[in-house]
Chain A
Amino acid sequence: HSALTQPRSVSGSPGQSVTVSCTGTSSDVGANNFVSWYQQYPGNAPKLIIYDVTKRPSGVPDRFSGSKSGNTASLTISGLQSEDEADYYCCSYGGTYTVIFGGGTTLTVL
């Protein structure tokens, strides 16, 4: 399996909404609803923000939402805040108990 495809960067102004896409294949993203998203600040460990495509762990603001259509999953951040500036990674079950990550997207809050 190759890494899932994410845009290298996205940007938005405070209060706006941004969407990060994550494109895989019918063997991974498109095969099931096992997609998760992680937020990572420089020098820190990743933090889970979405799992099973749409579910948010306790403590994650509802400004973060996930969706999927076919082989592409998406993370939408609404009401953008300066603290949302970070790297975002998608992740999918890849079959046979393996996992695939996306290449990562850097979000800049203008």
Chain B
Amino acid sequence: EGQLVESGGGLVQPGGSLRLSCLASGFSYSTYWMAWVRQAPGKGLEWVTNIKQDGSEKYYVDSVQGRFTISRDNAKNSLHLQMNGLRADDTAVYYCARSRVSGLKVKPNWFDIWGQGTLVTVSS
């Protein structure tokens, strides 16, 4: 079935940095797109970023472009999110998710396995 476990969340001051990690198990990790999705307290879901199987393509929501970097280590079945220049509005639970593709042009757009989430709080 597959499992994802996030770690690395915590309290950080505005302008600070944090690195989230996600460890995958139970599926062939290197053959899937992966993504980070976040949810601010009491708010809805927001796609943050995704990464292709071999790490050669990465895409970001405009609000984190230039501040966040997604990466993966297929040898260790791990996914990472380096977050720099953190702002109060980055406060959220961050979910790691396995991203699935649709269509002949393989567009990643749905998520079938989710981690339990890790809370990031940006506050002074």
Contacts and interface: CB of A to CB of B under 8 A. Distances in A.
A101 B112 CA distance: 15
Contacts of A45: 95, 114-117
Interface residues of B, number: 24
Given A91-B110, A97-B57, A103 B44 contact: yes
Contact of A48 (B45, B57, B110, B115): B110
Contacts of A100: 47
A69 interface: no
Contact of B107 (A34, A46, A47, A101): A34
Main secondary structure of the interface of B (DSSP, over half): strand
Sorting the interface of chain A by its residue count into under 10, 10 to 19, 20 to 34 or 35 or more gives: 20 to 34
B103 interface: yes
Contact of A102 (B44, B95, B108, B117): B44
A98 B99 CA distance: 11
A15 to B, nearest CB: 29
A98 B37 CA distance: 12
A51 B100 contact: yes
A23 B69 CA distance: 30
A33 B111 CA distance: 15
Contact of A89 (B45, B95, B107): B45
Interface string A70-110: 00000000000000000001011100111111111000000
Interface of A: 3, 32-34, 36, 38, 40, 45-48, 51-52, 57, 89, 91-93, 96-104
Q: Which 5 A-B pairs have the closest CB atoms?
A: A93-B109, A36-B110, A99-B47, A45-B114, A104-B44
